Amino acid sequence: MQCNYRHHINEKTVQNAVKEAVKKAGIAKHASVHTLRHSFATHLLMNGVNIREIQNLLGHKHIETTMIYTHVVRDMVSVPQSPLDHLYTNKQP
């Protein structure tokens, strides 16, 4: 039997789960659901997604709000990549 409705999670539930995960991981810096939103936007930019598409995905009314993420990408140009980032793209025999 197939259900034709969605299950929604209260936003406070997600916020608390992220807060608890950050605590359990021993992360000293502030991190929240909003941190994940910033990470999502930054990774999209780094992978060449058009800024207008990101604006649409994030629901920003003004492009200037989305442009905030571009400075992060500029600052990350020389950041070394982890070997784990290429784990599935560079398979060895």
Higher pLDDT, 11 or 90: 11
Q: What single DSSP character describes residue 27?
A: -
Give the integer Cα–Cα distance in Å for 76 and 17: 28
**Up-side HSE of residue 59: CA atoms within 13 Å toward CB?**
1
How far from 51 is each of 33, 36, 40, 63, CA to CA, in Å?
A: 21, 18, 13, 8
**pLDDT computed for residue 88 by the predictor:** 67
pLDDT one-digit tens code per residue, 34-57: 888 888 898 898 888 999 999 999
